[in-house]
Amino acid sequence: MKTIDDLQVAGQRVFVRADLNVPLDGTTITDDGRIRAVAPTIAKLTERGAKVIVASHLGRPKGAPDPAFSLAPAAQRLGEILGQDVAFATDTVGASAAAVTAGLADGQVAVLENLRFNPGETSKDDAERGAFADQLAALADLYVGDGFGAVHRKHASVYDLPKRLPHAAGDLIATEVGVLKKLTEDVKRPYVVVLGGAKVSDKLAVIDELLGKADRLLIGGGMAYTFLKAKGYEVGISLLQEDQIPAVTEYMERAEKNGVELVLPVDVLASTDFPDLKTKAPADFDTLDADKIPSDKEGLDIGPKTRELYASKLADAATVFWNGPLGVFEHPDYAGGTRAIAQALVDSDAFTVVGGGDSAAAVRLLGFDENAFGHISTGGGASLEYLEGKTLPGLAALED
């Protein structure tokens, strides 16, 4: 896979597929981590005299313009981080995009409007996707893929466009792939994986793969209650995917057979009411043993005994991968489990990887120094699919 150091970019129009898919509260960015992550690649290209055209998706608009998903706030924030004016095209391949990109001087940057405002970006029809990729290719001379959070998508700007232009991986993607290789090739042991998040179905494939590679799996978040139910515990009104119980049961049996330590919560914070995430009003909850959740309560975080147990299971690790919060971290009363895992990683001598998505957001929301972790990924879904052993379309296109 070529990198941007292999490209002659001076005076060239360089299309950078970034991941500016940041969370917004109205037009206010609540976490700019993904913008900061790609900024060094863009800065390096501008310093070498490139005319940089940045493109990304944001959210899930339905193939048509929607002001709620405009990339204008991200473009403004990128300019602040780069310390230079960033032009903004109000469309993707229309008159505004043509004019803005044609007006770039060497070292200048422009951002196109949300790629998903065009149905060709996400189309499952190869011809429709290809036609959109042709229009994007007309704007540029070179392609740089640096949106790691999107490389698992077979989308026009990720998969089809690099086939139409000389291409290379940006520094962010090169870093992400290098980190993931440390989790899949010649892993230093003990190798401990922490999996949280809401749905066990989102993690089944990676659990399946890790049962042959990890030494320990620590399970938390909403997905833990399907495991607890599979053990015969009452889980009340906790998040539960009953249809996944057979798969979870089989995984627990296989873990024992393979000598993989699969660790579940021993206590939880449970309540009859889901917390108010807007006002953050104090929550009313009980701390209960994991096998004693009453029928009218919902588990919303791992309890203090589990936090201590999980920290002990991480203490001797040489490699740690963490994906998914351990509770409803957005509310201060249920952030303790996620905070405990983050702190255990900070305290560890292991090579620690935070696997993107909500885990990365939680680290920043809870005030941890990002430099205290080995790596914080920008792509939760992409990192999981890589660990599952899947071929990621965006990476495959860059390797051609």
User: Where along the chain do its domains lie?
Assistant: 4-174, 187-387
For residue 148, the model assigns a pLDDT of 96
> Annotated binding site for substrate: which residue ranges?
19-21, 34, 57-60, 116, 153
For residue 400, the model assigns a pLDDT of 74
> Annotated binding site: which residue ranges?
19-21, 34, 57-60, 116, 153, 203, 299, 330, 356-359
> Annotated binding site for ATP: which residue ranges?
203, 299, 330, 356-359
For residue 41, the model assigns a pLDDT of 98
Residue 293 burial by CB count (10 A; 0-12/13-18/19+): exposed, middle or buried? Answer: buried
Q: What is the pLDDT of residues 98-119, one digit of tens each?
A: 999 999 999 999 999 999 999 9
For residue 285, the model assigns a pLDDT of 96
Distance between CA atoms of residues 82 and 63, nearest Å? 30
Of 34, 48, 129, 297, which one is the catalytic site residue? 34
State whether CATH 3.40.190.80 applies to domain 4-174: no
Locate tokens 């790629």: which residue?
115
Strands 267-271, 286-289: parallel, antiparallel or unpaired by DSSP?
Answer: antiparallel
For residue 380, the model assigns a pLDDT of 87
Q: What is the pLDDT of residues 152-198, one digit of tens each?
A: 999 999 999 999 999 999 999 999 999 999 999 989 999 999 999 99
Over residues 51-69, mean pLDDT: 96
For residue 115, the model assigns a pLDDT of 98
Of 357, 379, 380, 394, which one is the catalytic site residue? 357
CA 157, 155, 40: angle at the middle one, nearest 5? 45
Following CA atoms 157, 114, 73, 328 in sequence, which dihedral angle do they give, to the nearest 10 degrees? -80
Of 130, 327, 381, 394, which one is the catalytic site residue? 381
Topology agreement, domain 4-174 and domain 187-387: yes
Q: What is the pLDDT of residues 296-341, one digit of tens each?
A: 999 999 999 999 999 999 999 999 999 999 999 999 999 999 999 9
C-alpha distances (whole Å) from 146 to each of 14, 110, 241, 255, 345 are 12, 16, 35, 36, 27
Distance between CA atoms of residues 116 and 122, nearest Å? 7
Of 126, 27, 143, nearest to 75 (Cα)?
Answer: 27
| pLDDT band at residue 269 using 50, 70 and 90 as cut-offs | very high
Question: Is the model's pLDDT at 128 over the cut of 90?
Answer: yes
Instruction: Specify the CATH number of the domain 187-387.
Output: 3.40.50.1260
Our answer to whether residue 199 is catalytic in this structure is yes
206-212 contact pairs (CB < 8 A, 24+): 206/323, 206/384, 206/387, 206/388, 207/251, 208/251, 208/388, 209/387, 209/388, 209/389, 210/260, 210/387, 211/251, 211/254, 211/255, 211/258, 211/260, 212/258
pTM of the model: 0.91
- Helix H, strand E, coil C: the string for the chain is CCEHHHCCCCCCEEEEECCCCCCEECCEECCCHHHHHHHHHHHHHHHCCCEEEEECCCCCCCCCCCHHHCCHHHHHHHHHHHCCCEEECCCCCCHHHHHHHHCCCCCCEEECCCHHHCCCCCCCCHHHHHHHHHHHHCCCCEEEECCHHHCCCCCHHHHHHHHCCCEEECHHHHHHHHHHHHHHCCCCCCEEEEECCCCHHHCHHHHHHHCCCCCEEEECCCCHHHHHHHCCCCCCCCCCCHHHHHHHHHHHHHHHHHCCEEECCCEEEEECCCCCCCCCCCCCCEEEECCCCCCCCEEEEECHHHHHHHHHHHCCCCEEEEECCCCCCCCHHHCHHHHHHHHHHHHCCCEEEECCHHHHHHHHHCCCCHHHCCEECCCHHHHHHHHCCCCCHHHHHHHC
Over residues 121-129, mean pLDDT: 98
Mean pLDDT, the chain, rounded, equals 96
Q: Which has the minimum average pLDDT: 29-33, 42-46, 101-105, 350-354?
A: 29-33
Spell out the residues 6+ positions from residue 67 whose beta carbon is closer than 8 angstroms to its own.
none
Of 199, 213, 254, 364, which one is the catalytic site residue? 199
Question: Is the model's pLDDT at 356 over the cut of 90?
Answer: no
Our answer to whether residue 381 is catalytic in this structure is yes
Q: Give residue 356's identity as a one-letter amino acid code.
A: G
Question: Is the model's pLDDT at 10 over the cut of 80?
Answer: yes
For residue 357, the model assigns a pLDDT of 79
